[in-house]
Amino acid sequence: MNDKVIAYQGVEGAYSHLACKNVFPKSISIACESFEDAMNLVENETADFAMIPVENSTAGRVEEIYRLIPKSSLFIVSEHFEPVNHCLLGVKDSKLEDIKYVGSHPQALAQCYKNIIDLNLTAVAKFDTAGSAREIQEKNNQNFGAIASKLAAELYDLKVLKEYFGDLKGNVTRFIILSRKNIIPDFEKDKEYITSLIFHVRDIPAALYKALGGFATNGVNLLKLESYSMTGSLQVSRFHIDIEAHPEEKRLKLALDELKYFAKEIKYLGIYEKHKGRENYKLL
């Protein structure tokens, strides 16, 4: 999937930009102001794929994405796990003791909370990590720092005051790669797959229990179960599930048959290979 155009949210140097470079090293990356803008570029055929973060091992899920995906016409075609090495950055002539304020995306601030408190810094929420790095470059004030990647430090000529600034080692963000084409891999017995879909249950007693029961009785593992209220209602919930199986497997076919009986408006988000290094990462 090289030589493609990849859209991501943020500015140059963001972790999403770094993920694009690692997954698509020979492709063009386009920075977008919002996740929705990045997804729209794929929908209108300006970009081939969108690199979208969905959860982090320290700070949890990116809630906005779960609101956008049901409204989108895009499909998940792959997943990627990007190790996150937060760095405390400052302008070239600054020292660690000079920093009084630190800016970054709220997710990054949450992932560095203990270190921020230990240094008695005032956290300032910004739109994204790399944007905060660009901002302190423009301010050129020794009292202002940013939490961002080493790539951002290189791009904006900043000083790394403290590497590995995150509170926990092994911090990682899971990305999904979205395409306007539903690229479904053929089932191969020696490979592992994920089937992602969303649904809401029928208005009957214990509907969710019954809808999910087919996965248990057929030995199908659920990697993720997310629930959130549907737009305009606090009574009806939509459920997002990631299933550890391919629809061509008999056990999943049987489980989906039971799901169809107790659920409605089932929408398939994508069928894709399970990331080979997934077992190395522990997500919330």
Catalytic residues: 173, 175
Task: In whole angstroms, give the CA distance from residue 108 to residue 126.
Answer: 10
In one-letter notation, the amino acid at residue 45 is E
The residue assigned the tokens 């140097």 is 13
Number of C-beta neighbours around residue 120 at 10 A: 8
Supply the DSSP string of 2-24, one letter for each residue. Answer: -S-EEEEES-TTSHHHHHHHHH-
CA separation for the pair 79, 59 (Å, rounded): 18
Other C-beta atoms closer than 10 Å to the C-beta of 110 total 17
Residue 104 is encoded by which pair of tokens? 């970054």
φ/ψ region of 93 (left if φ > 0, alpha if ψ in -120 to 50, else beta) reads alpha
Alpha helices in the chain (DSSP H): 15-23, 35-43, 63-68, 106-111, 113-118, 129-139, 150-155, 207-217, 250-262
User: What strands lie across the sheet with 159-162, from one edge to the other?
Assistant: 122-125, 101-104, 144-148, 87-90, 159-162
